[in-house]
Structure 1
Amino acid sequence: MTRVDEFTSFYTSTSASTLRATYALCGDRQVAFEATVDAYRRAWRDWTKIRDHRPLAWVRNEAWRLTALSRGTHPLRRKHEEDADVELLEALGDMPIDDRRLIVLLTLGQTDLVEASREVGVPAEHGMETVTTALDVLEKRLGQPLEQLEERMHALGTVTRQMQMPPAETIRHRAQIGQRRNTLLLVAAAVALVLGGGFLVTDGDALASRADLPHRQKIGDEGPDVVLEAQKIGTDDLLTSAQVKKLDPARTWRVVDTNDDLEDKTPYATCPTKRFANSDPLKAYVRTYEVKGGTNERVAQAIEVSRSTDEADDAFRRLVRWYSDCEHPRVQLVGSYVVKRPFGDFRILRLRSYRSPERTFTVGFSHSGTVASTVVHEVDGATGPEIETFAQTLNDSVARVCKESGGRCSDDIEVLSANPPRTSEAPQFLGIVDLPPIADIDKVWAGVDSPERGINPAATQCDRASFKSKDVRRSQSRVFVIPEARELPQEFGVAETVGQFRSVTTAKKFVAKITDRVKKCEDDSLSARVDQKMSVTSGEAKGTVWRVGLEVTKKSRIYYRVALVRRGADVAQVTFTPAGSYDISQKVFSTLAARAGQRLVYMP
């Protein structure tokens, strides 16, 4: 396919949806039309640069920028568009811009949450929280449930259907004319400088006087060649033992080894399945550090230099996913944090291995330009370094490479607790890395979708919870077991059902109804006992856990640990069925329930 054919196909397939989204953002059809046409003209001029780097996101951002900066929406003209949903447009217009863009991208933009968040420039977790809150605000302001608002959003597109986008050849022709005009203006400006006495350059080239050329001419060639700059990255850009010492100042640290062998495939830490997240890095370094004196405390740092910033983006996400998908016996994710920075956030995860000896892993992931970097700290026991201290060390590791990598440096960081990163499979459910160790079993948990459609495997005789009703938009169930642990009886395991309700109100009513059933269970059934009630809260997720005992015979009783957690319009029920000594405490179960609430952020 030729370059012209490629652009024509792209333009034909995306221009209508881009126009709809731009109109929803600015509320003025003519402004949206002109901005969209102009954005595609600019896309054609830069097609060789953007064709392989999310061109649709580039065009949408450019169109929005043109509406926001180059023109102003005329309120009178908008009000006189009789076919416009002025009430909805005004409600959107009163929202913060990130909220508005996320809602538009998820509806008219036909974009998923991850891509929409990336386009707006926020982490997916933050994007989910933002759009959930924004939709609640929109529901309350307009007094309509989510499904009706979604229909109204899509109906905005009918306003732009009467506007015919010009043919692709017209877009290309206008772009070429505009480019020639800009070039002539720049040359004319340079000549004017020469004629006006602008001979300021010592090498005799009057047209090369960079201080006097218009800013628009300088933009294109002032940016560094990030690949050439990245060639400068070397072992001097790795952390020193003095910087690592901040993680444990009482110890004496030393560098054990520095390896730049791209053919080495051995993972340098516990969870990764490969040594490098990039399949074809430009260069990579792994440095290991240890404490003198025979302890098991160690640090590993890896930097991977990619051939483009997009490849570095992918490597960063893959690094995080290796840990969010970690499936090692008795290894559990116990903490998740985000390091807020002006130029892109970092992630920190804390995991614990409950093998003997117990061991704590603190892992930091950073990204700067063409470089993705990982810092891993390991130590025996249940205590790792202070997260704030580790975050500073992580930032130090970036500070040494950000200039050469084409990234942007900053010492302005803030560490916040965060939802765990999404897992690759069924991210709205508990992940294998979330599940606790059981007694002395040294085998891995496994999760599968429940084979019985429409039946809630997490329901007990006390709660009788059913996620089949007109108030539930969708529901799914999964069952978690330890298949290789032959000593466990068949009834042992964890069941989880998640449901997305049509509104926050209906979700609250469901939780209240099930909670009331559990509360009355002892009165309704003489064989039932309900105890160990605890409340759980994690961010926007709130819920309750109970232990439910049901008498089987006069001398025996079976127990369940049950949790019901709500986050917005999403609800999770988690039930753990112990077997004798193969049990966990209610405190551990409440932590698991809180994690289930956090995972609801990834409901589709």
Structure 2
Amino acid sequence: MSRADAYDAYFHESRGRLLHQVYAYVGNTEVANQALTDAFTAAWRHWPELGELSDADSASKDAWIRARAFRATERGQRSRRPWYAIARETADDHRPLLLALGALEPDARKLVILCYLAGLDLPTAGREVGVTDDAATEALHRATATLSSRGIDVSPAALTAALQRLNHDLINEQVGRPSRLRREGNPRRRPHLLVAGAASLALAVGALAITAAQEEDDPIAQLERPMPEPETEPRRITSRPETTPPPEPELTEGQLASAKEATILDGSRPWKLVDSSADFSITEPIDDCVSSMPSSPDAQHLWVRDFSSGKGAHPSKATQMLEVTQTPESARRAHRRLVEQFAGCAVEGHQLLEFRSISGIGDQAVMLALRHVDEEGLHDERVAVARSGEALVTWVTRGTTAHPVDAPRLVRVLSRSVDSVCRLAQGTCTVEPAKLIKLQDEPAPPADKTRGFLTTLDMPLFEGLTRPWMATAPREFAANPAATECDQADFAAAGAEDVLSRSFVIPHARRLPTYYGMTQTNGRFASPKAAADFMADVTSEVKGCGDRLRTLNVELNDKVKFGDVTGRVWRIEVSTAANEALVFRVALLRYRDTVTQLTYTPAARADTEHDGYVAVIVPRAAQRLAQR
């Protein structure tokens, strides 16, 4: 096999895995591609030595290429935007892993990639990186601890599988043909070009000199030269001062809010600026519900500021993010993506309380209210996300249930933030007067694929209960699990189709009875009238159940209406043999031809009470039902 054939064969055999490894190291498809191209080009210049390596599995050649490519990525990273902001081909679900890898020291990152992706043992990986066995062991231990702290599963099988999935981002990436790389890497090619270029330049200069000399000696050539026109008046030489157009104004961190403006959130306590990031220096998402930063893959700027107020262990906090994209369309997609991450928060222990649109601020704006629980108690969070032209303005405010951030005050702060960027971002500013700004309850974006049903994000949270809610997948049951002895709602017997039920429980929660939880059943009828007739029949059963069953008592019977969704909510109390009362909070809702029954069996230490059930849980069930 010729030297060129051997090089080409190695290129085709190794290109895919090496590009995968370099991409995992740098996190940018473009930089990885260029770095590997440079490394293969250099490899051809050293192929007389590399080609003599006899390792059957190409391990030594791989190590040489990797080392060269890893070094080349450092040159490719010298841009004002970090790799995770311009990695357009990076899948959204891969960004958290790439962010976590990017937080590691370069040598530690290499060890992770060599051990878990390239399949090297730790001593071999340590020698390739240039550290001792003990240093490699310690560095890898610290690296996996860092990855684990960022939510990455570092069990060997899981981490290897996660790294292998990064290969999906490289489907469209092509490293140049080996023949071209050999031509570019040919060490004799460049001197030949220099000699040829010098010879051409010498010939051109010589030709000009000969032509000029011939014209000076040839009288005919001199006579044929055009005579200059006589000047009728002296020429006036005017000089125009060179003017450069003023640079277009750009958005800067100066458009972010000050501590004085943050005080609007709560004027009863002083606020202070805690931290202000430089452009693109932020690497951590601004909230647990946000999977990656920035929100747009083609972001041009990203600034974050943190504010704090109050004293003690739990002061109120606020974070502002300003993200600038290339186009208004990019900003629109980033706005939708960020809103969906908050409204569908995938982190356990969170509840979505409110979702509202804001009219009159920017091109589009929404506000969300979230609650989460941990060992320290309940925490309320209010989020506002607005878009104006190419700019995305986000505020995340964190308080306690006893001292939450007021929604109208957050609207005022958001409007000021949008007004500071709207003109430069070529977007819409805040309407005037401010009283025209309107907050409107809206259905939250679907949180999962189970359309028509509540999700764990809709379940109530209680202080001291840190175990997460779990939901079963909707499925068919022989009998309606949401029915009580009082209503006896039988969807299937009434002619409903697609009758599915799901349950919500808190497994292994201490001091909660086994019956605690929530169950929902959905069914679609032949027509809206058939659905309404079913509702009327169940309502009639509930109205008379106290007469039929002495142990049952219907204490509350509320009519509810949420847009096109109508229904009833009951509080049914059952007396048990132990002289105790078991409470059922039952909602029956109809949206066109579909009916849902939602039954909540609370406990004494974990109950929304009837008003909370009607004000928060039932409206969300109506919204989810309308999304069916």
Structures share fold, TM-score greater than 0.5: yes
Q: Does 2:404 match 1:416?
A: no
Tell me which residue corresponds to 1:54. Answer: none
Q: Are residues 237 and 263 of structure 1, via their aligned partners in 2, closer, same or farther at CA, if it must alter by over 3 Å?
A: closer
* Counterpart amino acid of residue 314 in structure 1: R
Q: Are residues 273 and 547 of structure 1, via their aligned partners in 2, closer, same or farther at CA, if it must alter by over 3 Å?
A: same
Tell me which residue corresponds to 1:288. Answer: 306
| TM-aligned CA deviation for residue 596 of structure 1 | 1.0
* Distance across 2 between alignment mates of 1:326 and 1:581: 26
Q: How does 1:395-414 map to 2 (within 5 A)?
A: 395-412=415-432, 413-414=436-437
Q: Are residues 491 and 512 of structure 1, via their aligned partners in 2, closer, same or farther at CA, if it must alter by over 3 Å?
A: same
Q: Is the 8 A contact 2:586 2:597 kept in 1?
A: yes
Tell me which residue corresponds to 2:365. Answer: 346
Tell me which residue corresponds to 2:520. Answer: 496
Q: Does 2:340 match 1:321?
A: yes
* Distance across 2 between alignment mates of 1:558 and 1:342: 48
* Distance across 1 between alignment mates of 2:334 and 2:261: 25
| TM-aligned CA deviation for residue 339 of structure 1 | 0.8
Q: Does 2:328 match 1:309?
A: yes
* Distance across 1 between alignment mates of 2:608 and 2:380: 20
Tell me which residue corresponds to 2:210. Answer: none
Q: State which of 356, 375, 397 in structure 2 corresponds to 1:337.
A: 356
Tell me which residue corresponds to 2:250. Answer: 232
Tell me which residue corresponds to 1:394. Answer: 414
TM-score by length of 2: 0.54
Q: State which of 282, 298, 301 in structure 1 corresponds to 2:317.
A: 298
| TM-aligned CA deviation for residue 490 of structure 1 | 4.3
Tell me which residue corresponds to 1:11. Answer: none
Q: State which of 482, 485, 496 in structure 1 corresponds to 2:509.
A: 485
Q: Is the 8 A contact 2:363 2:427 kept in 1?
A: no
Secondary structure of 1:274 counterpart: coil
* Distance across 2 between alignment mates of 1:297 and 1:581: 27
Q: Is the 8 A contact 1:395 1:411 kept in 2?
A: no
Secondary structure of 1:273 counterpart: coil
Q: Does 2:480 match 1:461?
A: no
* Distance across 2 between alignment mates of 1:366 and 1:488: 41
Q: Are residues 489 and 501 of structure 1, via their aligned partners in 2, closer, same or farther at CA, if it must alter by over 3 Å?
A: same
| TM-aligned CA deviation for residue 495 of structure 1 | 0.8
Q: Is the 8 A contact 1:241 1:254 kept in 2?
A: yes
Secondary structure of 1:254 counterpart: strand
Tell me which residue corresponds to 1:384. Answer: 404
Secondary structure of 2:491 counterpart: coil
Tell me which residue corresponds to 1:361. Answer: 381
Q: Are residues 419 and 410 of structure 1, via their aligned partners in 2, closer, same or farther at CA, if it must alter by over 3 Å?
A: closer
Greater Cα offset, 467-476 or 347-356: 467-476
| TM-aligned CA deviation for residue 239 of structure 1 | 1.7
* Distance across 2 between alignment mates of 1:454 and 1:263: 57
Q: Is the 8 A contact 1:423 1:431 kept in 2?
A: no
Deviations 1:2-49 (A, max 9, x none): xxxxxxxxxxxxxxxxxxxxxxxxxxxxxxxxxxxxxxxxxxxxxxxx
* Distance across 2 between alignment mates of 1:383 and 1:411: 29
| TM-aligned CA deviation for residue 376 of structure 1 | 1.3
Q: Does 2:621 match 1:596?
A: yes
Tell me which residue corresponds to 2:276. Answer: 258
* Distance across 2 between alignment mates of 1:454 and 1:306: 53
Q: Does 2:548 match 1:528?
A: no
Q: Are residues 556 and 341 of structure 1, via their aligned partners in 2, closer, same or farther at CA, if it must alter by over 3 Å?
A: closer
Q: How does 1:194-213 map to 2 (within 5 A)?
A: none
Deviations 1:469-494 (A, max 9, x none): 68646443221112353654543321
Q: Are residues 274 and 362 of structure 1, via their aligned partners in 2, closer, same or farther at CA, if it must alter by over 3 Å?
A: same
Q: How does 1:490-569 map to 2 (within 5 A)?
A: 490-550=514-574, 553=577, 555=579, 558-569=582-593
* Distance across 2 between alignment mates of 1:590 and 1:369: 39
* Distance across 2 between alignment mates of 1:388 and 1:501: 42
* Counterpart amino acid of residue 439 in structure 2: L
| TM-aligned CA deviation for residue 279 of structure 1 | 4.0
Q: Is the 8 A contact 2:282 2:304 kept in 1?
A: no
Q: Are residues 283 and 454 of structure 1, via their aligned partners in 2, closer, same or farther at CA, if it must alter by over 3 Å?
A: farther
Secondary structure of 2:262 counterpart: helix
| TM-aligned CA deviation for residue 514 of structure 1 | 0.8
* Distance across 1 between alignment mates of 2:329 and 2:468: 34
* Distance across 1 between alignment mates of 2:425 and 2:292: 23
Q: Are residues 455 and 246 of structure 1, via their aligned partners in 2, closer, same or farther at CA, if it must alter by over 3 Å?
A: same
How large is the Cα RMSD of the aligned pairs? 3.0
Q: Is the 8 A contact 2:516 2:601 kept in 1?
A: yes
> 5+ unaligned residues in a row in structure 2: which ranges?
1-246
| TM-aligned CA deviation for residue 369 of structure 1 | 2.1
Secondary structure of 2:613 counterpart: helix
Tell me which residue corresponds to 2:394. Answer: 374
Q: Is the 8 A contact 1:565 1:594 kept in 2?
A: no
Q: Is the 8 A contact 1:391 1:415 kept in 2?
A: no
Q: Is the 8 A contact 1:462 1:517 kept in 2?
A: yes
* Distance across 2 between alignment mates of 1:318 and 1:344: 16
Secondary structure of 1:377 counterpart: strand
> 5+ unaligned residues in a row in structure 1: which ranges?
1-227
Tell me which residue corresponds to 1:139. Answer: none
* Distance across 2 between alignment mates of 1:454 and 1:310: 49
Deviations 1:162-191 (A, max 9, x none): xxxxxxxxxxxxxxxxxxxxxxxxxxxxxx
Q: Does 2:618 match 1:585?
A: no
Give the share of equivalent positions with the same residue, in percent. Answer: 29
In the alignment of these two chains, the number of paired residues is: 375
* Distance across 2 between alignment mates of 1:587 and 1:432: 20
Deviations 1:321-373 (A, max 9, x none): 22222255654333332111386331011223455454322110111222222
Q: State which of 422, 429, 448 in structure 1 corresponds to 2:453.
A: 429
Q: Are residues 504 and 554 of structure 1, via their aligned partners in 2, closer, same or farther at CA, if it must alter by over 3 Å?
A: same
Tell me which residue corresponds to 1:208. Answer: none
* Counterpart amino acid of residue 519 in structure 1: K
Secondary structure of 2:291 counterpart: coil
Secondary structure of 2:521 counterpart: strand
Greater Cα offset, 258-267 or 360-369: 258-267
Q: Is the 8 A contact 1:541 1:565 kept in 2?
A: yes
* Distance across 1 between alignment mates of 2:511 and 2:346: 20
Q: Are residues 270 and 464 of structure 1, via their aligned partners in 2, closer, same or farther at CA, if it must alter by over 3 Å?
A: same
| TM-aligned CA deviation for residue 302 of structure 1 | 0.6
Q: Are residues 289 and 283 of structure 1, via their aligned partners in 2, closer, same or farther at CA, if it must alter by over 3 Å?
A: same
Q: Are residues 244 and 557 of structure 1, via their aligned partners in 2, closer, same or farther at CA, if it must alter by over 3 Å?
A: closer
Q: Is the 8 A contact 1:419 1:599 kept in 2?
A: no
Q: Are residues 251 and 548 of structure 1, via their aligned partners in 2, closer, same or farther at CA, if it must alter by over 3 Å?
A: closer
* Distance across 1 between alignment mates of 2:528 and 2:428: 40
Deviations 1:297-333 (A, max 9, x none): 2211112222333332222112112222225565433
| TM-aligned CA deviation for residue 590 of structure 1 | 2.1
Q: How does 1:68-147 map to 2 (within 5 A)?
A: none
Deviations 1:107-162 (A, max 9, x none): xxxxxxxxxxxxxxxxxxxxxxxxxxxxxxxxxxxxxxxxxxxxxxxxxxxxxxxx
Tell me which residue corresponds to 2:201. Answer: none
Greater Cα offset, 530-539 or 434-443: 530-539
